[in-house]
Amino acid sequence: MKGDLDLHMRKEELVLFPAIERLEREVPPFGGLSSRIRTALSEHDSTAEALSDIRRITRDYQLPSHACDRYRALFQDLETLERRLQFQMYLEESILFPRARSLEGQRI
């Protein structure tokens, strides 16, 4: 999952987000954004599935009675990771991507 997220974030930072910024400055990005956004959404789906698997495997982050401090910290960190990733994906899917599509549609 870490490797997938690293690659996903690199693509967003190096390709998708700069293309959206260029669109905001009224310079059409090469090749349009639709396929890049579709790719990002597909990767979001994969991430959501992985997070769901982690939640299932950990039984909704339920700690066994014998859990040590490291075990507790791991579950807390996993739950924090899930919450932050879900919020980031929500922001992109609900605000950034619709805005970029709207801007792109205005330029065509």
pLDDT tens digits along 47-104: 999 999 999 999 999 999 999 999 999 999 999 999 999 999 999 999 999 998 888 7
DSSP class of residue 29? P
Contact 43, 88 (CB under 8 A): no
DSSP class of residue 33? S
Neighbours of 97 (CB within 10 A): 21
Distance CA 34, CA 24 (A): 15
pTM: 0.82
Number of domains present in the structure of the chain:
1
3-state secondary structure of 84: helix
Distance CA 59, CA 9 (A): 28
Q: Tokens 């609900």 correspond to what residue? A: 94
* Phi, psi dihedrals of residue 24, rounded to the nearest 5°: -65, -30
Contact 22, 29 (CB under 8 A): yes
pLDDT given for residue 108 in this prediction: 44
pLDDT given for residue 29 in this prediction: 53
Give the structural domain span for 73.
2-107
